[in-house]
Amino acid sequence: MTKGIVRGIIANLVLVEVDGPISQNEICYIQLKDIKLMAEVIKILGKIAYTQVFESTRGLMPGNEVEFSGHMLEVKLGPGMLSKIYDGLQDDLNKMDGLFLKRGEYTDPLDENSIWNFTPLAKAGDVVTGGDWLGEVPESWIAHKIMLPFGMTENYSVVSVVPAGEYKITDTIAVVKDKEGKQHEINMIQTWPVKIPIRAYKEKPRPFKLLETGQRTIDTLNPIVEGGTGFIPGPFGCGKTVLQHGISKYGDADMIIFAACGERANEVVEIFVEFPKLDDPRTGRKLMERTIIICNTSNMPVAAREASVYTAMTIAEYYRTMGLKVLLLADSTSRWAQALREMSNRMEELPGPDAFPMDLPAIISNFYARAGYVYLNNGSTGSITFIGTVSPAGGNLKEPVVEATRKAARCFWSLEQRRANSKRYPAVDPIDSYSKYLEYDEVKEYLNSTIAPNWTDLVSYAKDVLLRGRETNEQINILGDDGVPLSYHVTFMKSELLDRIILQQNFFDKVDAATPLNRQHYMLEKVINICMMDFQFESFEEVKPFFTSLIYDMVQMNYAEFNSEEFKQVEADLEKILAERRVK
Amino acid sequence: MATRAFQKVYTKLNQVTKATCSVTATGVGYDELATVGGRLAQVVKIINDSVTLQIFEGTEGIGTDAEVVFFGYPPTLKVSDQLAGRFFDAYGNPIDGGPDIEGEEVEIGGPSVNPVRRQQPSELIATGLAGIDLNNTVVTGQKIPLWADPDQPYNFVMSLIALRAKADKIILGGMGLSNDDYLFFKQAFENAGIIDKIISFVNTTENPPVERLLVPYMVLTAAEYFAVEKNEKVMVLLTDMTLYCDALSIVSNRMDQIPSKDSMPGSLYSDLAKIYEKAVQFPEGGSITILAVTTLSGGDRTHAIPDNTGYITEGQLFLMRDTNISKVIVDPIGSLSRLKQNVQGKKTRADHVDVMNAAIRLFTDAGNAKTKLENGFDLSDYDERVLKFSHDYSLRLLAIDVNISIDEMLDTCWELFQKYFSKQEIGIKETVMDKYWK
Ligand SMILES: Nc1ncnc2c1ncn2[C@@H]1O[C@H](COP(=O)(O)OP(=O)(O)O)[C@@H](O)[C@H]1O
Ligand SMILES: [Mg+2]
């Protein structure tokens, strides 16, 4: 193995003079007294390796010895990852002693001694390649597939598979033979470098199936699909994290991977305190049982923050190859971009816009491209749906991370300061936001055949109502309440009704927090019907109170269990109010 | 921070800038302390045998032959119960004429708490201010800054909150604090008769700016001692973090780093997060709550300092002058407490959230009515009523001279709702309405 000597230290950038070959992104360990600090090569200039250290470099000196590992930053994959809380380098945080994180302490992501109930899926004589399923073990409520390691991309023939029974992850569960006849023993563990996508699938078609999030402003107005990508930009305090937490709770996925990347530790605490108590409405199991948290909060080392999103993506790819529907959330991708910026500045690279590295757009788009819906070699399907938040400096949407992400992600849910200020949560701007998937014919077809034949028409009608509402409101503000025709007030209040009943959703209310699709359909139809009605008013002053009472009733409907006694009672009352002014 | 034996001494500087110098030296560790010509300095960059030091007092008058003495360790603070009731400078040296502290010497700026060892903060801090307790309830273990233009009484409000918070210790970190404000805090603590609960690390406007960089870490090292070792509730006051950031930018500019937005270093987010994330609630009961001050320029929250702060802290409390009542209020629209949902309606009355939201919505409507009025339009009857409401709401609740319990705040809201509005205009759930609408 190549060795090196520390020559320079600038914060977490360490220059190492090497005595042999090394490669880009190779991992090395810097000896500091009795601990080893992990670092990654990010640039090579002659005999000097520029490394980013995943720890504080306090006390490091020129002359300290460095050992190169011969491999890139890897994750260790196998059963037992669900409900774990990892740091950005996949250390199991629960395995660390003490209140404080210790430098140079790395822990096993898997539990070597855990016992798993193995059922074979392959048999002697089968021809397999990397990613093919050899067997499965129940992990929580997921059938965790034991796969031929992804790196074994040739064809192998199965020599033997152990019979069903209990095994440790380190036990050999299969033996396979390569073309030369060499035998390979396979256990339940494999490793994979995080910066390389796992491509153990046959093909990646355009995604088309709606992925329900329970959030009306997303599902109804700008939906995301299984295997799709989306991002949530917004100034601080506008609700990015709350919206993502909502999606992680109610999103219709087999499992959730949540990458808390450079944000607040208390937000992670919230997840691991609440999720073990919350039920997953689909399986009745606890939410934590389908969740993996990758937690590299803002005070943890910056370089590991960058690693954390890749760690999360690689774990997602591993589970996708088992034929699962994975939802990956990262909060916030801006912190990852900032970590890149910090390093690029320390290396005195020529800066791009706002001092971000020049290749930022390429890095972001390569990352988003790892999501997707896939057909596996055995014909099953799997998907990674990826939603990232973006935290633009000063809330400015023209900033480099937003611009770069816009090119990579297909859904754009923009959070608006003004909406947040007036507590119209979720503060997703209904007019500027979009879902490119609504342009896909196969998505439209899917929506109209699964929700209602006229669904996409209803949705585009709703968007028109909102747009007309915004325009008339501007007119009212310019010309004054009595300077515009009465109909302007009606148009505006119709859009307010739609806004309040469909778009606004109270994340902290038990019922309102998530709305199933059939209920979204019912309410949208109801609201659109009202928007299509004509009403009789004597003066503009009657308009607002009338709609206020409609809104009042329909909010009660949102808070009531769907089709409950209470729901129907309010609905009946609503019909009465409507009848009072409705023009037939 | 006294010097010790076996120190390396050098006497030839290669480069001197306004805040840094470099010297040829070996065997020096990153982050290590040194003195340059008797002034305290810290290693910020090492390339081969060229060591760059940041000199806290500035480099005025430093000669190329200045003596550089390396300590062999990073900045430290001696921690023990003796810290209580004492006043220190940015280096942790007593400035109150008292004896030196005896205790364990710990490195400042130590490691982060393992996130899985944290507890969810959920212990309410009652401040008596409705802008906080009613609209933006804060809890122990939270980190939250006061945002204010320089002419607002932010240090006064900070002392109010600290004194009402019933903390076991209050640790003040003054950065670029004017001597008058320093004396104000001292006086306030003395008057409250709690001087033995106070610890203070202060860099005043008379001290060199770069020294400030040590202050938050000194404060938080002391705070961790009391929160971890003694399970105490520690309230940390940092004022003014904008001046701290200014010192950061001085150092990074002197080191020729590429500045990002508003001449701030590209690492500003990480630098601030390292400080604010020290706020924590431990399961054993100890906690560190950080109340900071970020002064704004003309209320501009998009400037890099408040912007990065807002992305890190758990909300912000916006102080502003309400010209309708000629008083300072905690603005209900620009302020936010991200941890309020951990306690509102759970540790407070069940109607808390609904009442808060309804009142803020009416207050927002009043803002719109005001705009209408300014644009010369007629006001509707509703507009007239929300304007009256918002006047009373500001005066009887939001003004910082009001000091009442949360139940009283809620009752006042109901009283104002009924005085000016119909049930439907309030729009609160029927079940809640039934109980409080008389
Ligand atoms: N859907 C929502 N319902 C109610 N309150 C919300 C909602 N979204 C955000 N909030 C409020 O706004 C605060 C900030 O939201 P958060 O998601 O943390 O913002 P960001 O991540 O954009 O900084 C929350 O603590 C909460 O008080
Ligand atoms: Mg957030």
Asked if residue B406 has pLDDT above 90, the reply is yes
pLDDT score at A281: 77
Best residue among B336, B342, B354 to mutate for probing ligand 1, ranked by most atoms within 8 Å of CB: B336
Show which of residues 330-369 on chain A sit within 8 Å of chain B, judged by CB atoms.
335, 338, 341-342, 345, 351, 354-355
Question: Do B35 and B96 have their domain in common?
Answer: no
Task: Find the CB nearest A100 among B47, B111, B274.
Answer: B111
Distance CA A465, CA A475 (A): 15
Contact assessment for residue A71 and residue A26, using Cβ atoms and an 8 Å cutoff: yes
Question: Do B184 and B156 have their domain in common?
Answer: yes
Coil, strand or helix: which one is B276?
A: helix
- C-alpha closest to that of A326 among A438, A226, A424, A444: A226
Contact assessment for residue A76 and residue A189, using Cβ atoms and an 8 Å cutoff: yes
Asked if residue A584 has pLDDT above 80, the reply is no
**Is A556 in the B-facing interface, judged by CB distances under 8 Å?**
yes
Cα angle value A488/A491/A495 (rounded, 5°): 140
Instruction: Calculate what percentage of chain A has a pLDDT beyond 70.
Output: 100
pLDDT digits (tens, 9 = 90+) for A379-429: 999 999 999 999 999 999 999 999 999 999 999 999 999 999 888 999 999
**Is A549 in the B-facing interface, judged by CB distances under 8 Å?**
yes
B205 contacts: CB under 8 Å, gap ≥ 6:
B176, B177, B178, B179
The count of residues in chain B is: 438
> Looking at the domain assignment, is residue B3 inside a domain?
no
Distance CA A287, CA B405 (A): 37
Work out the number of other CB atoms within 10 angstroms of the CB of residue B97. 6
Distance CA A285, CA B438 (A): 44
Distance CA A486, CA B119 (A): 55
A559 contacts: CB under 8 Å, gap ≥ 6:
A506, A509, A511, A512, B429
Distance CA A109, CA A111 (A): 7
The values of phi and psi at residue B70, to 5°, are: -90, 135
pLDDT digits (tens, 9 = 90+) for A271-306: 999 999 998 877 888 999 999 999 999 999 888 999
CATH number at residue B23: 2.40.30.20
> Looking at the domain assignment, is residue B75 inside a domain?
no
Contact assessment for residue B98 and residue B222, using Cβ atoms and an 8 Å cutoff: no
pLDDT digits (tens, 9 = 90+) for A524-560: 999 999 999 999 999 999 999 999 999 999 999 999 9
Query: Which domain covers residue B402, as residue numbers?
Result: 352-436
Question: Do B269 and B324 have their domain in common?
Answer: yes
Domain boundary among B341, B364, B393: B341
Contact assessment for residue B53 and residue B60, using Cβ atoms and an 8 Å cutoff: no
Instruction: Calculate what percentage of chain B has a pLDDT beyond 90.
Output: 86
pLDDT score at A422: 84
Q: Which residue has the tokens 């308009």?
A: A543
**Is A545 in the B-facing interface, judged by CB distances under 8 Å?**
yes
Beta strands per DSSP E along B296-344? 315-322, 327-330, 336-337
Contact assessment for residue B327 and residue B394, using Cβ atoms and an 8 Å cutoff: yes
- C-alpha closest to that of A486 among A546, A540, A544, A547: A540
Question: Do B59 and B111 have their domain in common?
Answer: no
What spatial distance separates the first Cα and last Cα of chain A, rounded to whole Å?
85
Coil, strand or helix: which one is A297?
A: coil
> Looking at the domain assignment, is residue B46 inside a domain?
yes
pLDDT score at B11: 87
Work out the pLDDT band at A342, boundaries 50, 70, 90. Answer: confident
The domain total for chain B is: 3
Asked if residue B4 has pLDDT above 80, the reply is no
- C-alpha closest to that of B41 among B201, B173, B211, B207: B211
Question: Do B182 and B279 have their domain in common?
Answer: yes
**Is B322 in the A-facing interface, judged by CB distances under 8 Å?**
no
Task: Find the CB nearest A265 among B118, B316, B364.
Answer: B118
Question: Do B126 and B254 have their domain in common?
Answer: yes
Work out the number of other CB atoms within 10 angstroms of the CB of residue A117. 13
Distance CA B280, CA B234 (A): 10
Distance CA B282, CA B116 (A): 10
Domain boundary among B341, B367, B395: B341
pLDDT score at A349: 87
pLDDT score at A248: 94
What amino acid is encoded at A213 in this protein?
A: T
What is the secondary structure of A171-194 as a DSSP string? S--EEEE-TT--EEEE-S-EEEET
**Is B113 in the A-facing interface, judged by CB distances under 8 Å?**
yes
Contact assessment for residue A253 and residue A211, using Cβ atoms and an 8 Å cutoff: yes
User: Please, what sign has the CA dihedral across residues A20, A24, A29, A31?
Assistant: positive
Collect all residues of chain B within an 8 Å Cβ-Cβ radius of residue A236: 307, 310-311
Q: Provide the 8-state DSSP code for A158.
A: E
Query: Taking the model in full, what pTM does it have?
Result: 0.95
Number of H helices, E strands in chain B: 12, 21
For the Cβ of A419 lying below 6 angstroms from any atom of ligand 1, the answer is no
A494 contacts: CB under 8 Å, gap ≥ 6:
A465, A469, A530, A531, A547
> Looking at the domain assignment, is residue B346 inside a domain?
no
Domain A216-436 in CATH 3.30.465.10: no
Collect all residues of chain A within an 8 Å Cβ-Cβ radius of residue B269: 262, 298, 335, 338
Distance CA A133, CA A147 (A): 4
Range name among A409-413, B246-250, B384-388 with the lowest pLDDT average: B246-250
Contact assessment for residue A552 and residue B422, using Cβ atoms and an 8 Å cutoff: no
pLDDT score at B6: 61
Work out the pLDDT band at B254, boundaries 50, 70, 90. Answer: confident
Question: Do B400 and B430 have their domain in common?
Answer: yes
Question: Do B121 and B190 have their domain in common?
Answer: yes
Asked if residue B3 has pLDDT above 60, the reply is no
Asked if residue A88 has pLDDT above 90, the reply is yes
What number of C-beta contacts closer than 8 Å exist between A and B? 191
Three state DSSP letters for chain B: CCCCCCCEEECCEEEECCCEEEEECCCCCCCCEEEECCEEEEEEEEECCEEEEEECCCCCCCCCCCCEEECCCCCEEEECHHHCCCEECCCCCECCCCCCCCCEEEECCCCCECHHHCCCCCCEECCCCHHHHCCCCEECCCEEEEEECCCCCHHHHHHHHHHHCCCCEEEEEEEEECHHHHHHHHHHHHHCCCHHHEEEEEEECCCCHHHHHHHHHHHHHHHHHHHHHCCCEEEEEEECHHHHHHHHHHHHHHCCCCECHHHCECCHHHHHHHHHCCCEECCCCCEEEEEEEEECCCCCCCCHHHHHHHHHCCEEEEEEEECCCCEEEECCCCCEECCHHHCCCCCCCCCHHHHHHHHHHHHHHHHHHHHHHHCCCCCCHHHHHHHHHHHHHHHHHHECCCCCCHHHHHHHHHHHHHHHCCHHHHCCCHHHHHHHCC
Q: Which residue has the tokens 């950065």?
A: B175
The values of phi and psi at residue A115, to 5°, are: -110, 135
Distance CA A329, CA B358 (A): 32
pLDDT score at A498: 98
Asked if residue A9 has pLDDT above 90, the reply is yes
Give the containing element (helix H, strand E) for A109. Answer: none
User: Please, what sign has the CA dihedral across residues B61, B64, B65, B66?
Assistant: positive
What spatial distance separates the first Cα and last Cα of chain B, rounded to whole Å?
65
The CATH number of domain A455-581, selected from 1.10.287.70, 1.10.1140.10, 1.10.10.10, 1.20.1740.10: 1.10.1140.10
Question: Do B273 and B363 have their domain in common?
Answer: no
Distance CA B388, CA B384 (A): 6
- C-alpha closest to that of B230 among B290, B285, B166, B289: B285
The ranges assigned to domains in chain A are 3-72, 111-188, 216-436, 455-581
Collect all residues of chain A within an 8 Å Cβ-Cβ radius of residue B47: 7-8, 10, 15
Question: Do B318 and B409 have their domain in common?
Answer: no
Domain boundary among B321, B341, B361: B341
Distance CA A443, CA A408 (A): 19
* Angstrom distances, CA of residue B186 to CA of B48, B181, B191: 47, 9, 9
Q: In this complex, do B113 and A266 lie within 8 Å of one another by their Cβ atoms?
A: no
| pLDDT, averaged across chain B | 94
Tokens for A413, please give them: 């849910």
Range name among A300-309, A314-323, A490-499, B216-225 with the lowest pLDDT average: A300-309
Coil, strand or helix: which one is A70?
A: strand
Distance CA A90, CA A307 (A): 9
Coil, strand or helix: which one is A133?
A: strand
pLDDT digits (tens, 9 = 90+) for A67-86: 999 999 999 999 999 999 99
Question: Do B255 and B319 have their domain in common?
Answer: yes
Distance CA B281, CA B275 (A): 15
> Looking at the domain assignment, is residue B194 inside a domain?
yes
pLDDT digits (tens, 9 = 90+) for A168-189: 999 999 999 999 999 999 999 9
For the Cβ of A413 lying below 6 angstroms from any atom of ligand 1, the answer is no
Number of H helices, E strands in chain A: 14, 27
**Is A391 in the B-facing interface, judged by CB distances under 8 Å?**
yes
pLDDT score at B5: 52
pLDDT score at A495: 98
pLDDT score at B378: 87
Question: Do B321 and B401 have their domain in common?
Answer: no
Domain A111-188 in CATH 3.30.420.40: no
Range name among A338-342, A499-503, B165-169, B386-390 with the lowest pLDDT average: A338-342
> Looking at the domain assignment, is residue B77 inside a domain?
no
A133: left (phi over 0), alpha (psi -120 to 50) or beta: beta
Q: Which residue has the tokens 């400037």?
A: B303
Fold of A3-72: Thrombin, subunit H (2.40.10)
For the Cβ of A234 lying below 6 angstroms from any atom of ligand 1, the answer is yes
Best residue among A242, A332, A499 to mutate for probing ligand 1, ranked by most atoms within 8 Å of CB: A242
CA neighbours closer than 13 Å in the CB half-sphere of residue A349: 19
Average pLDDT over residues B189-212: 93
Helical packing angle, B381-393 and B406-420, nearest 10°: 160
